[in-house]
């Protein structure tokens, strides 16, 4: 399993990275077959959001460390190094560029961008 990571380097430049999640078999439901799970991360809260079609946020650092999972619609996120990634349904992006130049985000297409945001500790 993979997710997208957006982070700021020591010079404040933001970059994307593809991260592979290590999964291991766990008895999650007692007495039932094992399922593959990653290790847990501590979350501060879960939010659901909708961003209107055409919305654009110019360069900004993330207000917090957060995992954003796209449910519907699409958005283009641009790192300060110029790389663009499209966040479409099913894409999870760990946003950690809380300092530095940040990134910009543009909702693309005719529909709104619906997301689940997991605010991380």
**55 vs 36: CA distance, rounded Å:** 37
Give the domains, in start order, of the chain with CATH numbers: 2-120 (2.60.120.10)
- Strand ordering across the sheet containing 113-120: 14-20, 2-8, 92-95, 66-72, 113-120, 43-51
Yes or no: say if 119 and 79 are a contact pair by the CB < 8 Å rule.
Answer: no
**pLDDT given for residue 80 in this prediction:** 98
% of the chain with per-residue pLDDT over 90 = 99
Q: CB neighbours (10 Å) of residue 80?
A: 21
**pLDDT given for residue 97 in this prediction:** 98
**pLDDT given for residue 69 in this prediction:** 98
**CA nearest neighbour of 101 among 74, 83, 85:** 83
List of the chain residues with pLDDT < 70: none
Q: Which residues contact 27 (CB under 8 A, 6 or more apart)?
A: 34
At residue 1's C-alpha, the angle toward residues 37 and 98, to 5°, is: 95
Query: 67: helix, coil or strand?
Result: strand
**pLDDT given for residue 45 in this prediction:** 98
Entry pTM: 0.92
């Amino acid at each position: 399993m993979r997710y997208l990571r957006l982070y700021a380097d020591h010079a404040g430049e933001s970059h994307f990275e593809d991260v592979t999640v290590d999964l291991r078999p766990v008895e999650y439901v007692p007495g039932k077959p094992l399922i593959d799970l990653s290790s847990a991360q501590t979350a501060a809260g879960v939010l659901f959001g909708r961003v209107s079609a055409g919305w654009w946020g110019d360069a900004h650092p993330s207000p917090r460390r957060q995992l954003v999972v796209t449910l519907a619609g699409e958005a283009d996120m641009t790192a300060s190094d110029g790389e663009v990634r499209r966040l479409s349904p099913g894409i999870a992006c760990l946003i950690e560029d809380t300092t530095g130049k940040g990134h910009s985000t543009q909702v693309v297409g005719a529909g709104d961008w619906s997301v689940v945001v997991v605010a991380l500790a």
